[in-house]
Amino acid sequence: MKKRLTALALGALMAAGPAMADLVFPSLSYRTGPYAANGIPFADGYADYFTLLNERDGGIGGEPVKMIECETGYNTEKGVECYEATKGEGALVYQPLSTGITYQLIPKATADGIPVHSMGYGRTSAKNGSVFRNIFNYPANYWDGASVAITHILNAEGGDLSGKKVALVYHNSAYGKEPIRTLEELAKKHGYELTLLPVDHPGQEQKSQWLQIRREKPDYVIMWGWGVMNQVAIQEAVNIRFPMDHFIGIWWSGSENDVLPAGEKANGYKALTFHNFGSNYPIYADLKKYVYDAGKAAGAGDQSGTVLYNRGLYAAMLAAEAAKTAQDIHGTKAITSQMMRDGMEALEMTEEKMSALGLPAFGPEFKVSCENHGGNGFGAVSQWDAAAGEFKMITDYFQSDQDVLNPLISEDSSAYASENNIEPGCN
């Protein structure tokens, strides 16, 4: 039996020897499993943006982009396999779209010198770039999300939350547990009462959690859900006639797929976001001309303009802009993952840049630095309009409570640094 090992090892030798000609952007996507409904639009947007760059501009700075897609099914073991399979190809940056896989990759990618961009997910304290040199989570992170949600509730309640009850319905995993620390800190500051309601993977069974909500009647429900859990939660909220405008989801719980199954009754559901919606942007004309009409759209090509498709575009755009920055810094077109890291650390997104790319006012402005890998923590609240069938922004971008978050981030990142013998520093 173990003969087979020898054969495998010999095969490995032959398979080794990576070709490093193009700029390689792996896409660890999931188009199958309980999270596919959310994974597909993101993966399509990510792929279509790079296709557009290749077709329209011949890549980034004239260097063609090679996007390697690898199916993870939101499963960490497959994520590791995908990481190992693609890193030899000269991968520049990983965006796994899974907090579990991000936790997995943080030490591995750091050891291999490859940056990870966990945009709005992953480990929040990675914002402290002096500890997490290779990990980025701009433009916003989970603790920003939690704080933005509380600030929104605060504004709706006229600035006073004392005696109010807030329930957190969360995916019982590292992802869902992320905001608890912040919500507890904020509860101390604002005096609301926090109830924690975990939902186990994959999240199809939530009857008892919503029964508890019906019994305890919290004033607001905040949700940290993903995949099929979102749809079920919104349906359950409709079933117990919970007021939808008091139900706020994180940005991962605010896509069309999540609200459509509940129909008209989901009208008024709120979700956070760190980028804009819709297809009313100049870039969509280019996408239509170079990608859709040329028959090069990724997947089934039916996700264009949805919330998560736009987020995929945004993620790819930030990666491409970081690659451009890296090319400028190092004066070479064929950048390596180390140079890509420098590019990400020097990335600055301004209104002019976004307008020039055909995405005017698409996301908040921010500037990355070694001390701040996480942007400025601006988020906005959107609301589902069931009649129009789209999420509408109901607030401007506003900043999270940095006074509460910054101490938490430095505490958590220094704990990580001492656990892993990392000397924090920017050089």
Partner 1 sequence: MFYREAGDFKTSYQQDNQTFPIRFDRYRYYVVLAVAFGVVPFLINDYWANAILVPFLIYAIAAIGLNILTGYCGQVSLGTGGFMAVGAYACYKLMTAFPELSMFIHVILAGGVTALVGVLFGLPSLRIKGFYLAVATLAAQFFLVWLFNRVPWFYNYSASGQISAPERDVFGILVTGPNAPSWAVYLFCLIFVTFAGVLARNLTRGTMGRRWMAIRDMDIAAEIIGVNPLTAKLSAFAASSFFVGISGALFFSVYLGAVEVGEAFGIQKSFLVLFMVIIGGLGSIFGAFAGAAFLVVLPVALKLVGVDMLGWATDIVAHFQLVIVGALIVVFLILEPHGLAQLWRVAKEKLRLWPFPY
CB of 107 to partner 1, least distance (A): 4
State the nearest-atom distance from the C-beta of 230 to partner 1, in Å. Answer: 18
| Closer residue to partner 1, CB minimum distance, 195 or 279 | 195
Nearer to partner 1, 5 or 387 (CB): 5
CB of 179 to partner 1, least distance (A): 10
Return the number of the residue (150 or 323) whose C-beta is nearest partner 1. Answer: 150
Residue closer to partner 1 (CB basis): 239 or 420 = 420
Smallest gap from residue 247 Cβ to partner 1 (A): 24
Q: Which is nearer to partner 1, 113 or 389 (CB)?
A: 113
The residue (of 180 and 393) whose beta carbon lies closer to partner 1 is 180
Of 2 and 241, which CB lies nearer to partner 1 in the complex structure?
Answer: 2
- Residue 110 or 355: the one with the smaller Cβ distance to partner 1 is 110
Supply the minimum distance, in Å, between the C-beta of residue 48 and partner 1: 14
Euclidean distance between the first and the last CA atom of the chain, given in angstroms as a whole number: 50
By C-beta, is 369 or 418 nearer to partner 1? 418
Closest approach of partner 1 to the CB of residue 182, in Å = 10
Name the residues that contact partner 1, by CB under 8 A. 1-6, 8-10, 12-13, 15-16, 29, 31-32, 36, 40, 69-71, 73, 75-77, 80-81, 84-85, 87-88, 100, 103-104, 107-108, 110-112, 123, 172-174, 177-178, 180-181, 198, 200-201, 299, 412, 419-421
- In the bound complex, what is the minimum distance in angstroms from residue 194's beta carbon to partner 1? 15
Q: How far is the CB of 251 from partner 1 (least distance, A)?
A: 19
Least spacing, CB of residue 358 vs partner 1, in Å: 27
Q: Report the distance separating Cα 176 and Cα 37, nearest Å.
A: 18
Please say whether the dihedral angle defined by the alpha carbons of residues 375, 185, 404 and 209, taken in this order, is positive or negative: positive
Nearer to partner 1, 4 or 241 (CB): 4
Nearest 5°: CA angle at 16, between 12 and 20? 160
CB of 6 to partner 1, least distance (A): 5
Asked whether 297 and 304 are in contact (CB, 8 A), the reply is: yes
417 vs 103, 116, 118, 177, CA distance in Å? 15, 18, 19, 21
SS (H, E, C) the chain: CCHHHHHHHHHHHHHCCCCCCCEEEEEEECCCCCCHHHHHHHHHHHHHHHHHHHHHHCCECCECEEEEEEECCCCHHHHHHHHHHHHCCCECCECCCCHHHHHHHHHHHHHHCCCEECCCCCCHHHHCCCCCCCEECCCCCHHHHHHHHHHHHHHHCCCCCCCCEEEEEEECCHHHHCCHHHHHHHHHHHCCEEEEEEECCCCCCCHHHHHHHHHHCCCEEEEECCCHHHHHHHHHHHHCCCCHHHEEECHHHCCHHHHHHHHHHHCCCEEEECCCCCCCCHHHHHHHHHHHCCCCCCCCCCCCCCHHHHHHHHHHHHHHHHHHHHHHHHCCCCCCHHHHHHHHHCCEECHHHHHHCCCCCCCCCEECCCCCCCCCCEEEEEEEECCCCEEEECCCCEECCHHHHHHHHHHHHHHHHHHCCCCCCCC
